Structure 1
Amino acid sequence: MAISHGPEGLELLEEWRDRAVAAQAAEAAGLLERMVGDTVAYCKERKQFGQPIASFQALQHRMVDMHIEVEQVRAAAVLAACKLDAPARERARAASSAKVVVARACRFVGQNAVQLHGGMGMTDELAIGHCFKRATRIEQEHGSELWHAARLATLML
C-alpha cells in the first residue's frame, strides 16, 4: 500500500473511518438486540407485587421504545453498508447518520436495560453488564455523536 499525503491521505482516512462506523453500526445492532432480548426475558421472570414486572404497562412501553431503537440502528447500519462504495459525500452522510443513530440508541437501550435489571445490571455476573460497557464504548469510538452530527450538518448544505 502506498503512503498518501495531503488531501489524498485525508480522503483515505475519512473513507476508512466511514467503513469502521458502518461495521460498528452492524455490531451495535446485534449488541442492542441482545440487550433488549435479555431485558424482556428478565422482566418476564422478575416478580413484583406477585406478578412479573413485564406485565406493568409502563415497563412494556419502555421495552417497546428500546425495540424501536434497535430497529432504527439496524436500518441505519444497512444504509451505511450499502453506501460504502458510493461517492464520498454520500458515503459520509450515511456513515455519520448511522453514528448519530447508534450513539443515541446505545445510550438509551443501555441505560434502560441496566435500570430494568436493577443493581444486577452492572455486575459481571450478567451479560447485560458487559453489553452495557461495550455499548458505552461504541457510543464514543470513531467520533462522538456531536462530531458526527456537525459533520452531517455540513454535508447536508
Structure 2
Amino acid sequence: MAFDIVARSWKILENDLTRKKCLDVYEEAKGRTDHMIAEKRKKLKKEGRSFEQIPEDDPAKYKHAIYVMVMKLFADMERRRQKLDQRDQEERKRKRETEIEEEERIKADREWQQNFEESRQSRVNSWHDFQSGAGKSKKTKKQKHMTGMMVPPKFKPETR
C-alpha cells in the first residue's frame, strides 16, 4: 500500500508537466504563507507589539506552515478534480438516458407506423363496405306499441 503511493508519487515527479504543477503549488503555498506572516506582523505593529515575535519566525515553524499550506492546496485541487469528475459523470449519465429515451420513442413510432400500415387494408375494406351498404338498407327504429290506453303510474309506498 505505502509502496504503491510512493511509486505513484515518483511517477508524478518524473513527468515534467506534473512536476512543474507540483512546484507551482509549492511556490503558491510559500507566497501565501509569506503573505500570512506579513499580515500577522502588520496586526502586531498596529496593536503596538511589534517587538514580539510570531511563531513562524522559527525556521521549523515556518517550514511547517508552508507544509500545511501545500497540503491544503493539494487537498483543494483534489476536491476540485473529484467535483469536476462527478459533474462529468453525471453529464454523461444524463446524456445516455436522453439517448435511451430517444431510441425508445423512435422504436414506439416505428411500431405504431407498422401497425397503422398493417391495419390499413381492414380500414379501407370497412369503408368500402359502409359505402356500398349505404344504399341497400337502412336500419329502422323500433317503436313501442301503444295500445291506446293510458297506463297509470306505478305505486310507490310512502316511507318514513
Normalised to the residue count of structure 1, the TM-score between the two structures is: 0.32
RCO greater where, 1 or 2, for CA within 8 Å and sep 6 or more?
1
The structure with the larger Rg is 2
More helix by share: 1
